[in-house]
A and B are shown apart, each in its own frame.
Chain A
Amino acid sequence: EAGVVQSPRYKIIEKKQPVAFWCNPISGHNTLYWYLQNLGQGPELLIRYENEEAVDDSQLPKDRFSAERLKGVDSTLKIQPAELGDSAVYLCASSSPLDRFGNEQFFGPGTRLTVL
């Protein structure tokens, strides 16, 4: 069974440029999460989807970040414009509908973003 797939694995951009990250969750997982992880710290939740609905986006900086999951499967996270402080690893995770509270999340390898 394939795990969570993310692309690209690495991205280097200049500040003020846009960037997008893509995630394909494990088949059958209806809950999808986007996290941000800074060096030496734990992940921080940005947004959580139940199917195509964003049910928790309270930590998403909506002035520059946006996300979508149009068909309830894969998802895209976008930053426009990027700032130096956005340099981090962006992780995508998914969990099974059988896991009612999302305690067992399956993570992708992440996208390491560097903003110059």
Chain B
Amino acid sequence: LAKTTQPISMDSYEGQEVNITCSHNNIATNDYITWYQQFPSQGPRFIIQGYKTKVTNEVASLFIPADRKSSTLSLPRVSLSDTAVYYCLVGEILSNYQLIWGAGTKLIIKP
């Protein structure tokens, strides 16, 4: 099972673009990359998922280079409400839900 490495914490300011990079050097061919967001006293919430290149939805973009050994979650124009913990996970699409959660990145947005 692939293991991920993320920064423990990051700070940014309202209105800025925030990029959180996740390293997954041992990613396997069948692995997808998934990002979740978690606010205090709430369960995690799915943000975005991708396999390669770039994926964009209404909330974020996910950039995955060709070697897939890392990925970057991009949050455009953050606000104070984006302060949360962000988890990067890799999961084998053929191994039935084997998602391994790390400690995540605590993102703090300042006014």
Residues of chain A touching chain B, judged by Cβ–Cβ distance below 8 Å, are: 4, 31, 33, 40-45, 48, 55-56, 91-93, 100-110, 112
Binds A, one of B17-25, B42-50, B58-66, B69-77: B42-50
- Given contacts A42-B87, A101-B91, whether A93 and B103 have CB atoms under 8 Å apart is no
Q: Write the nearest CB–CB distance from B102 to chain A, whole angstroms.
A: 5
Q: Write the nearest CB–CB distance from B100 to chain A, whole angstroms.
A: 8
- Distance A92 CA – B43 CA, assembled complex (angstroms): 8
Residues of chain B touching chain A, judged by Cβ–Cβ distance below 8 Å, are: 32, 34, 41-46, 49, 87, 91, 93-94, 96-97, 99, 101-104
- Given contacts A93-B43, A109-B41, A109-B42, whether A103 and B103 have CB atoms under 8 Å apart is no
Chain B binding surface SS class: loop
8 cross-chain pairs, A with B, having the tightest CB-CB distances, nearest first: A107-B43, A42-B101, A102-B97, A104-B46, A101-B93, A43-B101, A103-B34, A91-B43
A48 touches B42 (CB 8 A): no
A55 touches B96 (CB 8 A): yes
Residues of A with C-beta under 8 A to B94? 101
B103 touches A40 (CB 8 A): yes
B102 touches A42 (CB 8 A): yes
Residues of A with C-beta under 8 A to B97? 31, 33, 45, 48, 56, 101-102
